[in-house]
Amino acid sequence: MREMGQIYESCKSLNKSKDGLPSNFSSLPSLAADIMISGFPLELMDGDAAHIPVLWVTAVIQELIQKLENKRVFVLSVLGVQSSGKSTMLNAMFGLQFAVSAGRCTRGAFMQLVKVSEELKEKEQLKFDYILVVDTEGLHALELSARSTRHRDNEIATFVVGLGNLTLINIFGESPAELQETLQIVVQAFMRMKQVRLKPSCMFVHQNVSDITARERTMDGRRKLLDTLDKMTRLAAKDEAYEAKCFNDVITFDIQNDVKYFAQLWEGSPPMAPPNPEYCDNIQELKRMIFSHASKSDGLELRNFKKLVKDLWEGLLNERFVFSFRNTLEISTYRRLETEYSKWSWGLRRTLLDVENKLHNQIENEQINKFEEIDVEENLKEKSDEVKELMSNFFETDQDKDILIQWKESFTIKINELQESIVREKTRKLNDILQRQEMKKRIDAQRTRNENILFERSKELAVQLKDKANDETILKKEFDSFWTDCVKKIRAETPQIKEIDVLEDVKQLLSNDSVGGTSERRDIFSVQKFSDYVQSRKSTFELNSEVELQIRNLVDEIYQDAIKMISSFNIAKKGYDKIYIQDLSEHIKSKMTNCEDFVFSREFCSDLLMSICKRENQQITNQQKKFKEANDPVFYFEKKRENYYSVFQNYLHGATSAAIFGEIICQKMKGPVQKSVYSDTSRDLTNEIQSSCESINGNRCKLEMHILKTLAEQENFNKYIDYLFRPRDHARSFIREEISQYIKDNFEKSVRRRMEHNMELMQDKIMKAAHRATLVNTSGDVQKWLNDFTIALSDVLTFSVKDLQGVSHEGVDDLQLLEDVISRLLKSEAIEILHQLSTETFPENLEPKDRPDEILIDHLCCCCWVQCPFCGATCTNTVENHSGDHNVLLHRVNGLTGCSYDENEQLSTDFCTTLVKSYKKFYTGQWISCKEYRKAGNVYAEWSITPDTSNLAYWKWFVSRFHRNLENHFEKTFNRWDQISEGWGEFTKEQALESLEEYM
């Protein structure tokens, strides 16, 4: 260590200007890269000016950040009773220039920055570039003896212990009373750090002790100190409502190595007495132990230290430190972890999409007839191992690994649970496909039989008309007549798929259920109050905004269940059945019956069923349309009319059997090829969107901020209402719109380019399969060639030998010609498929399971949706069923839930982040202080709501911008609007958007 500069002269004696800032603040010299000591006072103040010192400190630190870039610091804090001993010790140890006097030599705290040499970093294996030494005023300052110093001492201790990676507790002299009082303050500070999950370490320095060379003396002193620490821990635990019986329950502490006894500084009485050599030895030993502690720490970046100063200060300005402290560094680290978790979980989902597609093709091609979870897990193992390695590296090598370690176990469990869940879901889907195979076999067999009959009859007709091959008019007329007769016969033999009317089926069900199915039903999702629908199971009941929110959340939960049920019906594959509406109705009734808090009317169940079916009517109808297109034989064959006419013409003009058979193969493959290429392109595009689309490529919090940003830019009140009362629904719509816009904006460079690439890959796979089949079948066996060809493609195409059963391949004796015909026709079909590609046809030709929006909604909406009981803001934790409290970075005005003041029925203009530091109360059957909101239990106990000192510009702008709309919507006025409107109205939309930036 060596001194690299001089302490600022302006910091030696602090002269305050009338605004509370140092009079020479603006003229502080710029920090040069080679200056290593910078001292500045930090006073713990009361009143309006209490924020001034922290602003000054963070401003100076900001200047340091600009000069020192990403340098890391190890923070050494020093606490002790008022004396010159600790300042002298620090000056001697590091060559510093802290003020020394017999009294209160430091007012508040001074900090000095010491550069660590490269030689020392290498020798002691230190991972930081600077040591920041924080010296504080002594506890129990004599100058403050006229009034109690306990509160101030607690503030100082809490602040510096929170700042320090290592805290030195300096004890001067051997007064038991002074020792006990000091230690209780220190223990209480460490206990608070434990509760807010900061992890400092500590050492005790016992100065001015005589005869420290006597081992019995020091061992006895250590035992007494440990007993005192344990006793003070139990006392402090009562004050802090914390479970702890000994000091080691609060902080890791080694009584043998973390306590140092110091000899007296002077041999005799100063000023003539010489320095004590033993004191110098003690200094060196202490420095060695400090480096030993420091070598186990990564320190922290200066920018993060700045955040920590601000967080600790704001926590101290509120009365209850533990509940008001907001660790910005921990929050930002957790958000970063959530972003990584999103990447890990997406990696598993993305791989399973490919696995599902491959296994789906094998099932459709009858390559698999039995399926278990282990079959999916085996295909996922490589990716699963990769994700585990990524997780391990992140937790073990990240610069904030000391903070991350607290979540390692829970996130490991979550990623394992997620993997088990999606494996289970994919297994269920694939088993559904297996169960449908028998029905599908019958449909496919009938279709294939009809197809092959048509091919053969086309051939017969071509033979009959061979002498009229040059008369296109006669040929077309004869073929049209032939085709009409064939389709008529198919229609007569096949039952028709009827049109459906979902809402009529709902009305019929409700009518049969004696609930008045013919009456007009209310849209549950637009209802403002549920008082007409609900009664309480409790004796005391008030349908306040909290209860309204609870019921609205239940409605949303049932709706999400209904969406999953409708998806599980798999209407596009199985077709629609009226019984599905009955299943939905029974599910809603069971949810209502099992609700412990409320009794719902029958009208509520009926209106909810109708509201859900109205919302999902289009989705069900579209799926039924796809089922009809896939299974109605007349519709199917009408689409292939031109293909049959082409084969007819080939027969007519004497094409070889190999050429005609090759054309039939290509016609049969065209649908599967298009489906596979679209599916591959969609999955590739989904991966690109997930990593490149700014609003979607992060954690849940980032998604939320982009939703708020878009709402502000659009200034659409109805969309805001949808967001406030149907957050999950709105998020789904937002994701769909973002993806739709992304596809439109990037269609040529992403969608078309990927489609062309995947088409080339598919053509290559098909031709390689055809070439291999030709090479191994030297005998010219067409059936064996066909078997080898289709088996080679079973992973990538839903196409097998059974698709060509009944098609005559008599006379096909030139396999090379067959291969050449397939190659030529494949190219022309590829051109046709790509020509038809557009922003409209791309999503239409995708199955629901392959659509980017559905895939990413499933990925992004699998998170926490619990709403704040005060303001209705949705928890922004990325992990569903996460451990720990619910939290949200941006709470709202409580009135946006319809919450009003009992005395005047006016909408609340409070924020819950200000309520929790106020003396107001709220009612949940009994009056609860907002400061102690967790005592209300239930959902209140599960939320962490910290006091917010920001101006909350976004929601103030929103309320000011739409206050008339809001008053009309709720049919209430805002409380104290005349007083607050001017201040809130000063916020512009630009300022509202800027306030979101720090979270995005």
Question: For position 752, what pLDDT does the model report?
Answer: 94
Residues 6+ apart with CB under 8 A from 275: 265, 266, 267
Question: For position 458, what pLDDT does the model report?
Answer: 74
Question: For position 770, what pLDDT does the model report?
Answer: 93
pLDDT digits (tens, 9 = 90+) for 577-597: 888 888 888 888 888 777 766
Residues 6+ apart with CB under 8 A from 546: 869, 899, 924
Q: Which of 81, 153, 64, 138 is nearest to 106 (CA)?
A: 138
Question: For position 529, what pLDDT does the model report?
Answer: 75
Contact 580, 900 (CB under 8 A): no
Largest CA distance in the chain: 135
The burial class, CB within 10 Å (0-12 / 13-18 / 19+), for 748 is exposed
Question: For position 542, what pLDDT does the model report?
Answer: 56
Query: What's the CA gap between 522 and 544, in Å, rounded?
Result: 21
Question: For position 535, what pLDDT does the model report?
Answer: 67
Q: Which of 228, 165, 226, 171 is nearest to 201 (CA)?
A: 165
Task: Give the SS3 label for residue 78.
Answer: strand
Contact 946, 916 (CB under 8 A): yes
CA 12 to chain centre: 48
Tell me the CA distances in angstroms from 214 to 161, 297, 668, one per residue in order: 32, 33, 97
Instruction: Grade residue 301 by pLDDT with cuts at 50, 70 and 90.
Output: confident
pLDDT digits (tens, 9 = 90+) for 913-970: 888 888 888 887 788 888 888 888 888 889 988 887 667 899 999 999 999 999 998 8
Neighbours of 348 (CB within 10 A): 20
E-strand stretches of 116-165 = 130-136
Q: What is the dihedral of CA 602, 607, 612, 618, to 10 degrees?
A: 140
Residues 6+ apart with CB under 8 A from 533: 527, 600, 601, 603, 604, 607
pTM of the model: 0.75
Q: What is the DSSP letter of 971?
A: T
Q: With the C-alpha atoms ordered 787, 793, 795, 801, is the resulting torsion angle positive or negative?
A: negative
Neighbours of 205 (CB within 10 A): 22
669, two tokens: 């493959």
Q: Is the peptide bond before 869 cis (omega within 30 degrees of 0)?
A: no
Tell me the CA distances in angstroms from 608 to 532, 536, 548, 687, 946, one per residue in order: 14, 19, 16, 36, 37
pLDDT digits (tens, 9 = 90+) for 970-996: 888 998 898 898 899 999 999 999 988
Q: What is the dihedral of CA 893, 898, 903, 904, to 10 degrees?
A: 90
Instruction: Grade residue 18 by pLDDT with cuts at 50, 70 and 90.
Output: very low
Helix axis angle for 176-195 and 150-163, nearest 10°, is 50
Instruction: Grade residue 481 by pLDDT with cuts at 50, 70 and 90.
Output: confident
Q: Which of 39, 63, 13 is nearest to 114 (CA)?
A: 39
pLDDT digits (tens, 9 = 90+) for 345-366: 999 999 988 888 888 888 878 7
Across residues 469-489, what is the average pLDDT?
77
Q: Which of 529, 416, 494, 434 is nearest to 898 (CA)?
A: 529
Q: What angle do CA 227, 233, 239 make, to 5 degrees?
A: 150
Contact 262, 206 (CB under 8 A): yes
Q: What is the DSSP letter of 131?
A: E
Say whether pLDDT at 60 is over 80.
Answer: no
Contact 603, 533 (CB under 8 A): yes
Higher per-residue confidence, 179 vs 839? 839
- In what helix (H) or strand (E) does residue 858 lie, and over which residues does it extend? helix 852-860
Question: For position 40, what pLDDT does the model report?
Answer: 36
Higher per-residue confidence, 52 vs 980? 980
Contact 155, 316 (CB under 8 A): yes
Instruction: Grade residue 517 by pLDDT with cuts at 50, 70 and 90.
Output: very low
Query: What's the CA gap between 190 and 193, in Å, rounded?
Result: 5
CATH of domain 70-300: 3.40.50.300
Residues 6+ apart with CB under 8 A from 129: 68, 71, 72, 73, 115, 116, 121
Residues 6+ apart with CB under 8 A from 20: 49, 52
Neighbours of 484 (CB within 10 A): 10
Task: Give the SS3 label for residue 163.
Answer: helix
Q: Which of 43, 33, 41 is nearest to 63 (CA)?
A: 33
Q: Which of 492, 790, 459, 846 is nearest to 647 (CA)?
A: 459
Query: What's the CA gap between 206 and 211, in Å, rounded?
Result: 12
Q: Which of 878, 855, 884, 886 is nearest to 415 (CA)?
A: 878
pLDDT digits (tens, 9 = 90+) for 810-841: 778 888 999 999 999 999 989 999 999 998 88
Across residues 245-263, what is the average pLDDT?
85
Say whether pLDDT at 370 is over 70.
Answer: yes
Contact 411, 341 (CB under 8 A): yes
Instruction: Grade residue 56 by pLDDT with cuts at 50, 70 and 90.
Output: low
Q: Where are the domains of the chain?
A: 70-300, 502-631, 655-862, 865-998
Instruction: Output 176-183 pairs: Cβ under 8 A, ≥24 positions apart.
Output: 178/81, 178/140, 179/228, 180/228, 180/231, 180/232, 181/140, 182/80, 182/81, 182/139, 182/140, 183/228, 183/229, 183/232
Per DSSP, what are the bridge partners of residue 536?
598
Question: For position 889, what pLDDT does the model report?
Answer: 83
Question: For position 144, what pLDDT does the model report?
Answer: 47
Residues 6+ apart with CB under 8 A from 781: none
Per DSSP, what are the bridge partners of residue 115?
130
Neighbours of 555 (CB within 10 A): 21
Average pLDDT of the chain is 79
pLDDT digits (tens, 9 = 90+) for 696-733: 988 899 999 999 999 999 999 999 999 998 899 899 99
Query: What's the CA gap between 742 and 756, in Å, rounded?
Result: 19
Query: What's the CA gap between 876 and 882, in Å, rounded?
Result: 11
E-strand stretches of 579-679 = 598-600
